[in-house]
Amino acid sequence: MTKPALLLFAHQARSYAAMIKEYVERLDVALVILSSKPRDVRDLEQLNALSPARLWHVDDEHLDESHVSMVLTEARDEGFTIIASLATFEGYRVLMALTNQRLGAVDVDPAAVRRCMDKYLCRQSLVERGLSRSVATVLDEESLSVLRASGRKLFVKPRRGAGSFACFRLDDTLTPERLQVLKQQMRDDQAFRAIFAGQFDFIAEDYLHGDEYSLEVLAMGGASYVIGVHAKYLDDSSGTTLETSNSLPAPRLSDAQQLAGERFVDECLAALQLRDGCYHIEARHDPRDEHWDIIEINARMGGALINQSIGIFTGGLSMLELWVRMLCATTDAARRALRDELDVLRESTRRRDKSMQQGTVFFSRYGQRNRTLATLSTHELAPQPDIIESPVREGTRLPDSERGIFILNALWKVPIDEIATQLNALAAMLDQKLVVRYSDAA
């Protein structure tokens, strides 16, 4: 008798494997892992220490279909029935969709997810259907000159993005030469260049006014379920736009505004034929005319502590666990039951029923590019965060890149009616008490 298993794609031996293993074990499903070559062998050792049912790793920098075919064959021969694949790393999202299409698992159509991840094509599709006011242009020397002279307020971003890399308002400092420098940084970024998928173009699009939010969404069978809406607080002083803090729920959104956001997202996903999957959707709401517009649609769960924040907000079910349960729902009855549960978990449903109690605030801090992190200490933080996550080790030389380089994420559970005041108080305390030192000169 074969053992049902979920195949996790780990990029350079980094993933959410510990969480995923816990989730699949609750479903009596095994976790098997395929990893690309790690940049640090300790990451592979940590992955192996989790004792997955099987771990494959290859000597290539990133995974492709040839690796998957080999693993599916070996898994079958070893007594595993792979019921679905999962990639939390955006660079493998198309590979995941192709694999799930091959396996017959619930997932987005590969062609639709390719279009979604291309920010230029995604914007065009939304504009054509009257769902966005922002018009995008691919940047080259000629179009850059025209746009700089146009007087339009424009925002620049990579056509395929990663880690807030080079996202900024267009001004006279952007030259064709600087564009080439940024493109070379993308090619040289060992951790993230797989996300760019060989696409190094930049686009400029009309700047969207209003407050910024991220909507954490699951889609099943063409219906979308917004589980939570984070308010996002930004800083653009470093040359790219970075999220410095988030809160859930969003204090400034009324029930009616939040519900309008859910309905808008439903229209956008339908227009893009994104019928299944997990989505982290960044959007803006302009309270002057109640207009919602899309910044970008990411075919994955949110980064930083978005996943854990949702878990606290729902009372225990994170986005990742819900996504795993969707992928492992192999019968019609299981899928119907999950859809019923998602309907109850919708933020608009919980607002209507007044069942929301616990909120969160979390903060992200970024390192200085091309410097070596000597010390990162949270011991003096008071109160201590409920969740702390640091993706870098002391002694690591940080990448020479204009993307946001996370060094710390810290989350506090907060009563919903205290979110606004706690945001300011905790931010001030974190800035005062967090210890960050580098071993080399700036």
Which residue, 155, 187, 207, sits at the end of a domain? Answer: 207
The DSSP secondary-structure symbol of 92 reads G
Quote the CA–CA distance of 88 and 9 in Å, as a whole number: 8
Q: Are 160 and 196 in contact (CB under 8 A)?
A: yes
Residue 399 lies in a domain: yes
DSSP secondary structure string, 389-439?
E--S-TTPBPPS-SS--EEEEEEEEEEGGGHHHHHHHHHHHHHHH-EEEES
What pLDDT band is residue 329 in, cutting at 50, 70 and 90? very high
What pLDDT band is residue 399 in, cutting at 50, 70 and 90? confident
Number of domains comprising the chain: 3
Which residue, 207, 233, 251, sits at the end of a domain? Answer: 207
- pLDDT of residue 273 exceeding 90: yes
Q: What is the pLDDT of residues 363-388, one digit of tens each?
A: 999 888 889 999 999 999 999 999 99
* Whole-number pLDDT of residue 433: 95
Neighbours of 350 (CB within 10 A): 19
On whether both 100 and 159 belong to a single domain, the answer is no
On whether both 35 and 89 belong to a single domain, the answer is yes
* Whole-number pLDDT of residue 5: 98
On whether both 27 and 74 belong to a single domain, the answer is yes
On whether both 97 and 174 belong to a single domain, the answer is no
On whether both 164 and 82 belong to a single domain, the answer is no
Mean pLDDT, range 1-15, rounded to an integer? 93
Tokens 């994420």 — which residue?
409
184-188, 218-222, 237-241, 350-354: least confident range: 237-241
What pLDDT band is residue 242 in, cutting at 50, 70 and 90? confident
Mean pLDDT, range 98-115, rounded to an integer? 97
Residue 320 lies in a domain: no
| 28: helix, strand or coil | coil
Q: What is the pLDDT of residues 13-46, one digit of tens each?
A: 988 999 999 999 999 999 999 999 998 899 999 9
Mean pLDDT, range 403-428, rounded to an integer? 92
What pLDDT band is residue 288 in, cutting at 50, 70 and 90? very high
On whether both 7 and 96 belong to a single domain, the answer is yes
- pLDDT of residue 304 exceeding 90: no
Question: Could you tell me the sign of the dihedral formed by the alpha carbons of 166, 169, 173, 178, in that order?
Answer: positive
On whether both 98 and 48 belong to a single domain, the answer is yes
Which residue, 188, 207, 226, sits at the end of a domain? Answer: 207
Residue with the bigger pLDDT between 215 and 394: it is 215
Residue 284 lies in a domain: no
Residue 318 lies in a domain: no
What CATH number is associated with residue 19? 3.40.50.1100
Residues spanned by the domain of 172 = 135-207
Tally the residues of the chain. Answer: 442
* Whole-number pLDDT of residue 393: 86
Residue 152 lies in a domain: yes
Mean pLDDT, range 78-87, rounded to an integer? 98
User: How large a percentage of the chain has pLDDT more than 70?
Assistant: 96
* Whole-number pLDDT of residue 168: 86
Residue 79 lies in a domain: yes
What pLDDT band is residue 193 in, cutting at 50, 70 and 90? low
Q: Token pair of 251, please? A: 């204090």
Residue 262 lies in a domain: no
